Homo-oligomer: A and B are copies of this chain.
Amino acid sequence: MLARPGNAGLHRVVIVGCGFGGLAAARALGRAGAQVTVVDRTNHHLFQPLLYQVATAGLAAPAIAAPIRHILRRFRSVTVLMAEVIGIEPAARRVILDGGDVLEYDYLVLAAGSTHGYFGHDEWAHAAPGLKTLDDAIDIRNRVLLAYEHAEREPDAVRRIPCLTFVVVGGGPTGVELAGTLAEIARHTLREEFRRFDSRAARVILLEGGDRVLPGFPRDLSEKARAQLQRLGVEVRTNALAKHIDEHGVDLGGERIDARTVLWAAGVAASPLAQALGVSLDRAGRVRVEPDLSVPGRPEIFVIGDLAAVTDGDRQVPGVAQAAKQMGHRAAKNILRRARGEPTRPFRYRDYATLATIGRDSAVAVVGRLKLSGLVAWLFWVFLHIFFLIGFRNRIVVMFDWGWAYVTFQRYARIAMTGRSERSRVKAAPPSARTT
């Protein structure tokens, strides 16, 4: 118990952000009975590894999210607030919320995560949306579905090409997942549903600036991933840097790809909240934390997850769910230790497995010294992702959805939700082409 007799008072912990890191910290502190306030700008914890499936119409949004206050309801000392943090005052130990609310803290866990970064080209954001939130996923889903709808209304075969060209920028795990799934949609899901074109004619192009996809993986697995992508129908272009992106396509410098749909999976940027701490940040905007995850000179502030630049030994800890979870757990333990007057312990990263899925029966994985690819890696990926989903109910729903999709090649959530605004981009088709 943090609030035990002998303490000067109740120790108040504020956790900003309830992704994998923040949730792990909240659970560990809640279990210990600490006075915790969790602040998140959404009402839900999001299982981000499956977000691309919402974006590609395979899952409904609620299947990969759970209300934060429902997850934490049993911890009576934990309060959940849906709010945006607009400032942090480390000297005064205060967090400022939108609307002006102030939360005072004895310990702060900053787990605000990252967003997509456009390498200084924020003007590309409108033309090439990234994938971080459920709203992003629904936006991307709409764009993909409406591109096909637009193509069906376009009588001119040449002008139809950009509608049926999908470019994914960035060959990391998210880019590979998106490209593989988009190819599956074109080849299988939408077959025979259009009258003016064959959906299998759609092109899916994956652009990667480096010399291989999945650069975080061993080189031979990158090659296997490339082969699997190509088998699914994806055009993989490495050493291909986007020089310019607008709503009509991508400029590669010397080459132009006309595409109505461009998706951004190339860069992440740390939450700007890191700057409020007034400490040294790395190039990606992350906080260089002490080995115990606290901020240099601010032992009461812990930074975890994508927002923390942490090395374990000589290896940079990657920005993945399992690392964030482990950091959240370590930060909570260190807060409890400090409250008891004990020394904190350094963070140790345990890398159980690194996986990336590519598409039907296709994935790559590194599990300890084992390298897997193809069906075996894919089954392992499916098993792990269902296992780690929050909520027994979501596990059943996702398992059912996947089983159904596997057998039928259909995608459950092909529902464009905000068609009206998007449809203004649809152009006119001459009457005769349609009706005679």
Contact = CB atoms under 8 A, between A and B. Distances in A.
A61 interface: yes
A205 to B, nearest CB: 24
Interface residues of A, number: 72
A426 B152 CA distance: 43
A400 interface: yes
Contacts of A99: 153, 426-429
Contacts of A60: 60-63, 413
Nearest to A78: B195
A122 interface: no
A101 interface: yes
Given A396-B400, A435-B103, A70 B414 contact: yes
A420 B84 contact: yes
A43 interface: yes
Nearest to A9: B436
Given A41-B420, A134-B415, A83 B431 contact: no
Interface in A45-102: 60-63, 65, 67, 69-70, 73, 76, 79-84, 94, 97-102
A152 B80 contact: yes
* Chain A interface mostly: mixed
B134 A104 contact: no
Nearest to A40: B419
Interface string A412-436: 1111111110011011111100111
B43 A414 contact: yes
A193 interface: yes
Given A60-B61, A193-B70, A417-B135, A434 B149 contact: no
A419 B104 contact: no
Contacts of A412: 62, 393, 397
Nearest to A65: B415
A82 B419 contact: yes
Contacts of A383: none
Contacts of A195: 76, 79
B37 A416 contact: no
A79 B434 contact: yes
Contacts of A69: 193-194
A82 B149 contact: yes
A145 interface: yes
Contacts of A103: 431, 434-435
Contacts of A426: 82-83, 98-99
Contact of A153 (B83, B152, B393, B430): B83
Contacts of A434: 37, 79, 81, 101-103
Contacts of A418: 135
A344 interface: no
A44 interface: yes
A12 interface: yes
Nearest to A429: B101
Contact of A152 (B81, B194, B424, B428): B81
Given A43-B146, A44-B414, A102-B434, 10 more contacts: A41-B423, A44-B416, A67-B193, A70-B410, A82-B419, A83-B426, A97-B428, A100-B428, A101-B153, A134-B417
Shortest 3 CB-CB contacts between residues of A and residues of B: A102-B431, A60-B60, A100-B428
5 contacts: A61-B61, A61-B417, A83-B426, A98-B426, A101-B434
